[in-house]
Structure 1
Amino acid sequence: MFIRSIKVPSSSGVVHEYVRVVESVRENGRVKQRVVLNLGRRDTLVELLPLLQRFLQGDTVAPFEHDGPIQTLDASTWGPMLVVRHFFQQLGLWQILDAGRRWPRLLPAEDPDDDWPSRVLALIANRLVRPVSEHALAGWLETDYVCDRLGRRYVTRWKRQGRVEVDLTVLQRWYRTLDHLVLNKAKIEVALYKQLRDLFDFQPDLVFYDLTSTYFAGQGPAALAKHGYSRDGKPRNVQVVVGVVMVAGWPITHHVWAGNTRDSQTVSEVVKDLTKRFQFRDVVFVGDRGMVTEKNLDVLQKADGDWGFLLGMTRRQNPAAEALIDRIVEDRWLECPGGINTEEAHEKQRTRVQEVTCDRPGVRVFIVDSDERRAYEQRQREKAMQRVRVGLEKLQRRVAKGQVKAPAKIGAAAQRVLSRNHGQRYYAWKLEGGQFHFEEHPVNLPREKKYEGKYLIQTDRTDLTPREGVAHYKELNEVERGFRSLKDPIGMRPIWHHCERRVKAHIFVATLAFLIERMLERALKDARVPLSAQAALTALQTIRHVRFQVDGQERTGVTPGSQRARQVLKALKITEIRPPAPPGAQKTTM
């Protein structure tokens, strides 16, 4: 037997040398080498060799004892970064980013060969672990072991300059990484889509599209930062609108618009982009009721290929919707399969659907009746009615006491009360003999009760059953769940940037982090590990990279982590938990 080594390049370009014990054997008259034992990576063996020699010589002292003291130099969180690197490699992002262009207008002091793909990896990991701004990134780099593709750890260079506490040269490298990234967004998204399609073997039959908004902490860039309908409950803050397209549960592209952009104004651009960049031809566009305009339906019908639509319909202030609901026939309801919420409910919650006749040629309409939705909308209505009733009763007492006398002032006060909590939907009022009277609205309130629990879906697909239509439309909830993940755990909000391209790059980093979170969630589900992605990332923080001295010699190691962390690594089939060994003496980088 004798020793042999083999050099194996990883997907990130780092070459590791592995040591083997082999023996010569004769097979069919020829001499071959057969592997007897794999000893592991050479750099690891070098550290273990002194201990191994003592153990083999019969030393009774435990293998990890030593003559001098152990001094711990550093213990940094490594587990989340390890897993993000795993998915980064699985998605082929090293190769995709390496093939990208660089931002052409560099400052004189900037390195034109900076390893920006490694910085993108770090920014994505930060979004998933502890989302902070590029300025605040320095603090995270001190607590977590974040390294480039060669294994060189990113270190912070503290240097106060005005309000900035880190070296501006180093900070500029992270900002420039955003510039490189957003410059290549179009090609990166297409490449990732192809990689996802190969990894998970799906076809783009349904395209799910929805929008959200996210606000600025400050003024933001003038072209994007506008006041509009805030989905964050921050109407005083300027914002941007973000639209995300998902296929088979995966986010494949996103768009960013000014904060005052209406939902319906975005559809045309999205459809054209999917047709041109992704070559989508035979798909069904699934969107919420805010997308529905005659112009958008015309765009879908005229798009290249065979595009169909499955869209919600607005109920209120829509006489056509009320007329369609009036066409319901009670004995024609079809029961729909229940989801997880329905199965876990103490009382059975039905979801029913029926198709009703639509007056528009080529369009089918499904009316859905949901017990769960009805209970929610009834609770909301009752709370709103109670608030409005309290306000109207106060006004009634003020009028009775003579505190408000002029009819115009009484009418203005009543309008103010009704404008809150949608009071005009529930109550009507009148002034008789100088007295203020109110009652439940004889027309609007019955209409509200008729709407409760019901929503409408329209489609032009003739091959879609009503039950299938409901199931596909409910999948829009996945996009909405994705928005919640983007905004809260991944920290897309608030946005601090003042430059338009960096705002877009910030959102791109968040969506890439969202994609990796989805991949982690999928892997855990496939392995039947009962952890959410965020719970798994928390457990992985128990895996630490440790740097210590033994007898004056510096060594490194990685702790195995908690039981749940090891469970996650097993689900992902990650066996090599050490970071890449940095080349030579280059242990760190800026």
Structure 2
Amino acid sequence: MFIRRTQTRSSATGERYFTYRLVRAERIQNKVRQVTLVNLGRHFAVDQTLWPALCQRIEALTTGQSYLLEPDLPMAASAEAERIAAQLLARTSAASPLSVASSSTKQGEHTDVQAVDVNSLELVRPRSVGVEQMGLWAMQQIGLIDLLIELGVSGPLRAGIVGSIIGSMASPGSEAATHRWLGSQSALGELLDVDYERMPLMTLYRASDALMKHQAVIERVLYDRVHDLFGLETTVTLYDLTNTYFEGVAAANPKAKHGRSKEKRHDCPLVTLGLVLDGSGFVRRSETFAGNAAEGQTLAHMLGNLGAPAGALVVMDAGIATDANLFWLREQGYRYLVVSRERARQFELEAAIPIETATGSALHIQRVEDSDHQEVRLYCYSEQRAQKEQSIHQRFCERFEASLKSIAGGLSKPRTEKRIDKLNERIGRLKERSRGISQHYVIELIADETGKQAIALRWSKQPQPNSRLTPPGVYCLRTNETSWDSERLWRTYIMLTDLEAVFRSLKSELGLRPVYHHKEHRVDGHLFITVLAYQLVQIIRRQLQTRGIKARWRSLRDTLSVQQRVTASFRCADGRTLHVRKATRPEPELAAIYQALSLDPLPGGVIKTYV
């Protein structure tokens, strides 16, 4: 076994280049010929001085032999030997030069009794396979790979797209991290017959570019297929935005702007992701905006070409529910259900109706008809919300009063600033950062005889009516859907909390944050890959929920990640080496998931090789 460097020519361009092959000399009809075992490609990077030791290591790995002195190979060359040996053992052709007898069988199909040396057992190349099989199953449900073929995406780029999406589901991170995961930790390549260990990192970047080229078509077709798969109703549309921050300044990206970070990363530039979803939580459309984009200015752009059915109900939070947006929705024939931006609160318990929430707690709703604007306002009171708001406001009040006491205490010290104008400036800055608590306080500085120096500071708390303090626990919903009853309107609005769960999943479970790219189209591609991963996760979770399995993706991923494909190698009694490549037996919880979706409990089958 040795490595040969061969010059060849590209049939497409006529370019001459060198390629490398792992060959073995064999006698065929009284002639010694070189038989190619593996084509190592033109980018084979192992130094030529290491080739003999590399071949020696490959021979040992495939035959199960051990050497008194192991070949002294650098780590990178050892990893390459492991990869090439695994590629040799994965060959299933009976005509292989290694005289391989292989089979891919299901558990219990037949027995194969061998006499082996148990002490020679080695378990090598563990690779995760649970999330990979589940991700491919979800892709099959909506025909994602077939869609990529129809769009003319080449085979290597399709493999890169599939690897990037499933990598986001299983081990979210940057493209570089996903590339390492695909090559050294995942069995996805075995399930697809793709050598991710040899795939250049640039292929993942180009795969992202290919996705963005067809984003509009992919989103539209996949949503239509999800709609048909689950029989969804499109009468309710949810819309909201979130943002993610960059690692670095991202000076080359015009969308990278400083804004209000929902993760309090005000030190980093941001980019904003807008999502339009249906009432079941599936994404209909996504788009990225600048990090400082005003929420209220994005709605018409996102919904304008959506093609939502006439009269669809749009649900959104107060940040987007500007008067201009509501006017636009009415002009376009949409209905809306939003959190009112009005500051004034009113609630009369006697005029409210009680309903029970999903958690079993009580909620009271007061319905007020607004005939002038043809709208309905729902003033909702929750005792749990009231307790939470009171706790928050109490904490803010304590901080505010502590600052006032600090100012008052300084007036008795000789070197402390006591001028009225300076103290008013200090109190003004305190009010500015007090989150609205200062409006509930009357503050008075007591001056000395000159009227320029303060000798005391007094304050009293006087809660303002129709504010968060009076009454607490009340919020207002506003809608132009006047024919629905109050409970139906409120339960429809609660769907927006599912959208918040979507963003939490994207950010914490699927790697939306942070962004390591600096180029605009690569950032857009990274976010779109995350959205596609979320779509697959929703398909999996929804199918499992119909079968009584309810869990967040993080819990499902932990359960799936336990299963591995490993190679067990034995020396047989006849001197040959038996290699068995097989998935570990699923744990009971994982077996229940596989059974619910009718999936193979041993992904990838069983491959046996005799050398």
Fold match by TM threshold 0.5: yes
Query: Structure 1 stretches of 5 or more lacking a match?
Result: 1-16, 18-41, 56-62, 103-112, 158-169, 317-321, 344-348, 585-590
Judged with a 3 Å threshold, the aligned counterparts in structure 2 of structure 1 residues 299 and 64 are, in CA distance, closer, same or farther, namely farther
Aligned residue in 1 for 2:287: 255
Residue equivalent to 2:459: 439
Q: 2:254 aligns with which of 218, 223, 231?
A: 223
Given candidates 108, 111, 116, the residue that maps to 2:157 is 116
Alpha-carbon offset, residue 43 of structure 1: 3.4
Matching of residue 201 in structure 1 with residue 242 in structure 2: no
**Map 1:245-324 → 2, pairs under 5 A:** 245-247=276-278, 248-275=280-307, 279-303=308-332, 306-316=333-343, 322=344
1:337 CA displacement: 2.5
2:354 is matched with: 335
Question: 1:427 Cα deviation (Å)?
Answer: 2.3
Which residue is equivalent to 2:171?
130
Q: Matches of 1:250 and 1:359 in 2, distance apart?
A: 35
Once the two structures are TM-superposed, the CA of residue 386 in structure 1 deviates from its matched residue by 0.7
- Cα shift at 1:334: 1.0
Report the Cα offset of residue 314 of structure 1.
Answer: 1.6
Q: Once the 2 structures are TM-superposed, how far is the Cα of residue 382 of structure 1 from its aligned partner?
A: 0.3
Is contact 1:369–1:453 with CA below 8 Å preserved after alignment?
Answer: yes
Given that 1:213 and 1:242 are in contact with CA atoms closer than 8 Å, whether structure 2 keeps it comes out as yes
Contact 1:426 1:445 in 2 (8 A): no
1:151–1:581 contact (8 Å) kept in structure 2: no
Aligned to 1:409: 422
Whether contact under 8 Å (1:118, 1:149) holds in the other structure is no
> Which deviations, in whole Å up to 9, do the C-alpha atoms of 1:147-186 show, x marking residues without a partner?
17642341157xxxxxxxxxxxx11111000000111110
C-alpha offsets along residues 16-61 of structure 1, whole Å, 9 cap, x if unaligned?
x9xxxxxxxxxxxxxxxxxxxxxxxx93259999x84xx6xxxxxx
**Counterpart Cα distance in 2 of 1:459 and 1:356:** 11
Equivalent residue number for residue 99 of structure 1: 150
1:272, CA displacement in angstroms? 0.4
SS, match of residue 147 in structure 1? helix
**Shift, 1:445, TM fit:** 7.2
* Counterparts in 2 of 1:206 and 1:45: CA distance versus 1, 3 Å: closer
Give the SS at the match of 1:274: coil
Distance 2:317 2:128 in 1: 42
Could you tell me which residue of structure 2 aligns to residue 239 of structure 1? 270
Match of 2:547 in 1: 527
The letter for the 2-side match of 1:225 is A
- The aligned counterpart of 1:144 is 186
Q: Would the aligned equivalents of 1:315 and 1:451 in 2 still touch at CA under 8 Å?
A: no
Please state how far the C-alpha of 1:65 moved relative to its aligned partner: 4.6
Residue 543 (structure 2) pairs with residue 514 (structure 1): no
Q: Quick one: distance in 1 between partners of 2:498 and 2:126?
A: 38
Q: Report the AA paired with residue 586 of structure 2.
A: G
Specify the alignment match of 2:588 in structure 1. 563
How many matched pairs? 491
Deviations 1:494-551 (A, max 9, x none): 0011111111111111111112222222233222235432212111122111123344
The answer for unaligned runs of 5 or more in structure 2 is 1-91, 93-101, 448-453, 571-575
Inter-partner Cα distance in structure 2 for 1:429 and 1:280 = 55
The verdict on how the C-alpha distance between 1:151 and 1:371 changes in structure 2, with shifts beyond 3 A counting, is: same
Contact map agreement 1:334 1:352 (CA 8 A) in 2 = yes
- Against the structure 1 CA distance between its residues 46 and 336, is the aligned structure 2 distance closer, same or farther, given a 3 Å change threshold? closer
Rounded Cα–Cα distance in structure 1 between residues aligned with 2:224 and 2:129: 30
Compute the RMSD of aligned alpha carbons: 2.6
- Residue 382 of structure 1 corresponds to 394
Report matched runs for 1:62-77 at 5 Å.
63=113, 65-66=115-116, 69-77=120-128
The 8 Å contact of residues 364 and 458 in structure 1, kept in 2 or not, is answered as yes
Offset of residue 462 of structure 1:
2.2
8 Å Cα contact 1:81-1:146 kept in structure 2: yes
Equivalent residue letter for 1:498: H
Greater alpha carbon shift after TM alignment, 202-211 vs 68-77 = 68-77
- Residues of 2 paired with 1:378 and 1:541: CA distance? 43
Report deviation, 1:379: 0.7
String of CA shifts for 1:296-332, please: whole Å, max 9, x gaps: 12221222xx41111111243xxxxx2xx44x44322
Paired residues of 2:582 and 2:602 also in contact (CA < 8 A): no
- In structure 2, C-alpha distance between the alignment counterparts of 1:149 and 1:253, rounded to whole Å: 30
Are 1:397 and 2:409 matched, yes or no?
yes
Q: Give the whole-Å Cα distance in 2 for the aligned partners of 1:575 and 1:45.
A: 11
- Does residue 455 of structure 1 match 2:455? no
2:108, 2:341 → 1: CA distance?
A: 69
| 1:480 matches 2:493 | no
Greater shift after overlay, 243-252 or 498-507? Answer: 243-252
Moved more, 221-230 or 170-179: 221-230
3-state SS of the aligned residue for 1:155?
A: coil
Distance 1:46 1:130 in 2: 29
CA distance in 2, matches of 1:46, 1:205: 45
Kept after mapping to 2: 8 A contact 1:125/1:513: yes
The one-letter amino acid paired with 1:571 is A
Secondary structure of 1:495's aligned partner: coil
**Are the structure 2 counterparts of residues 462 and 397 from structure 1 closer, same or farther at C-alpha, using a change threshold of 3 Å?**
same
Which whole-Å deviations, capped at 9, do the CAs of 1:549-575 have from their partners, x for residues lacking one? 344243311112222111221122212
Q: Which residue type is aligned with residue 272 of structure 1? A: G
In structure 2, what is the Cα distance between the partners aligned to 1:72 and 1:292? 59
Q: In the alignment, residue 513 of structure 1 is paired with which amino acid?
A: A
Please tell me the residue identity of whatever aligns with 2:351.
R
Match of 2:66 in 1: none
Q: 1:358 to 1:437 in 2, by over 3 A?
A: farther
CA 1:79 to 1:369, structure 2 compared with 1: closer, same or farther past 3 Å?
same
User: Aligned partners of 2:108, 2:488: CA distance in 1, in Å?
Assistant: 61
CA contact (8 A) 2:105 2:606 kept: no
Q: Which residue of 1 aligns with 2:433?
A: 420
Aligned partner of residue 528 in structure 1, secondary structure: coil
3-state SS in 2 of match to 1:556? strand
Tell me by how many angstroms 1:362 deviates: 1.6
* Contact 2:240 2:274 (C-alpha < 8 Å) held by counterparts: yes
Distance in 2 (alpha carbons) for counterparts of 1:447 and 1:115:
59
Shift of residue 192 of structure 1?
Answer: 1.0
For 1:464 and 1:438, the matched residues in 2 are separated by 51
- Structure 2: distance between partners of 1:388 and 1:46: 69
Maintained 8 Å contact 2:591/2:601: no
Secondary structure in 2 aligned to 1:448? coil
Give me the whole-angstrom Cα distance separating, in 2, the residues matched to 1:199 and 1:459.
31
1:346 maps to: none
| 2:272–2:288 Cα contact (<8 Å) kept | yes
Q: For 1:382 and 1:443, locate their aligned partners in 2 and report how far apart those are by CA, in whole Å.
A: 12
Native 8 Å contact 1:228 1:239 kept in 2: yes
Q: Contact between 1:429 and 1:436, CA under 8 Å: does it hold in 2?
A: no
How far apart in 2 are the matches of 1:235 and 1:436? 38
Q: CA 1:458/1:148 → structure 2, altered by over 3 Å: closer, same or farther?
A: farther
- The equivalent of 1:162 in structure 2 is none
Asked whether the equivalents of residues 580 and 606 of structure 2 are also in contact (C-alpha less than 8 Å), the reply is: no
Secondary structure of the residue that 1:126 maps to in structure 2?
A: helix
Kept in 1, the 8 Å contact 2:255–2:290? The answer is yes
* 178-187 or 464-473, which deviates more: 464-473
